[in-house]
Amino acid sequence: MFGLFKKKSGPVITDKIWMTEDAKCRGLLQISQADPNIVIICWFQATLEKLNAAFPFNGTDSFVYMAGSVHGSMLRNKQLIFAEHHPLIEKEKSFLESHGITKATVHTSLDEPLLIHFGGERMAHLMRTLGMNENDPLENALISRSIRNAQESLAKKSVMELSAHSQGEWLKKICPAEIQCWQGLQPMRQTYVSDFYKTLFGNTAFAFFLCTSSLDNLSRKAEGNGPMKP
């Protein structure tokens, strides 16, 4: 009985995080070649154009779509993946719910504008320092949480529907300069944190976990989303 009053959980979004956008494009190409039922959704025209240019064959328009042009029949018996995040989480949730989709995978890269605003390039540097392969996507709950925090922060700054050719253009329209201020807290990570954790624990995966935890704490403090966690 009490279950009737529980708030419904929204669609489940899983992040596949690539070190670079070029690596992501190569990965999406491999995924689409391996499964003809894949449909790739883009939020911005610039991303669609980049994928069309990156895929070495014609006909990409048969499985790569702009989110705004999608209707139900396109997704029937298909597996949907996103080629990028929309800066606003509610846009993603609304799209999924309107098409009756309960879970989806978003492929993003650390050098995309949304993540650059929140330290993605420095995270990519850390991944290289720890010897990670740029052609292998990463699933990391702490990075995913940082992305959600960023989207929630942007939602507070966005007061109207915006149109933009690219994710970077969207962010330039909505983001004041101070949104990047917390990046000033990060140089210590490149010069100290990664080497310290790696030397102390001798385990690349665990070192990465601790470093991403440090990144998440710093971003939360600078964005005003809560105190740093112990």
Residue 3 lies in a domain: no
Measured CA to CA, the distance from residue 210 to residue 212 in angstroms comes to 6
Residue 186 lies in a domain: no
Residue 35 lies in a domain: yes
| Secondary structure letter of residue 104 according to DSSP | E
Residue 205 lies in a domain: no
3-class secondary structure for 187-222?
Answer: HHHHHHHHHHHHHHHCCHHHHHHHHHHHHHHHHHHH
Residue 117 lies in a domain: yes
- Is the CB of residue 85 less than 8 Å from the CB of residue 204? no
pLDDT of residue 96: 94
Q: How confident is the model at residue 143 (pLDDT cuts 50, 70, 90)?
A: confident
Measured CA to CA, the distance from residue 76 to residue 108 in angstroms comes to 24
Q: Could you write out the DSSP letters of every residue in 152-197? A: HHHHHH--S----SSHHHHHHHH--GGGGGGGGG-HHIIIIIHHHH
Look at residue 84 and tell me whether its pLDDT is greater than 90. yes
Residue 104 lies in a domain: yes
Residue 184 lies in a domain: no
Q: What percent of the chain has pLDDT over 90?
A: 29
- Burial track 200-222 (b if 16+ CB lie within 10 A, e otherwise): eeeebeebbbbbbebbbbbbbeb
**Number of domains observed in the structure of the chain:** 1
For the beta carbon of residue 63, count every other beta carbon within 10 angstroms. 17
Structural domain span for residue 109: 10-175
pTM of the model: 0.73
Residue 94 lies in a domain: yes
| Secondary structure letter of residue 132 according to DSSP | -
pLDDT of residue 27: 94
Whichever domain contains 69, its CATH number is: 3.40.50.300
* Span 106-125, pLDDT tens digits: 999 988 888 887 677 777 77
pLDDT of residue 145: 87
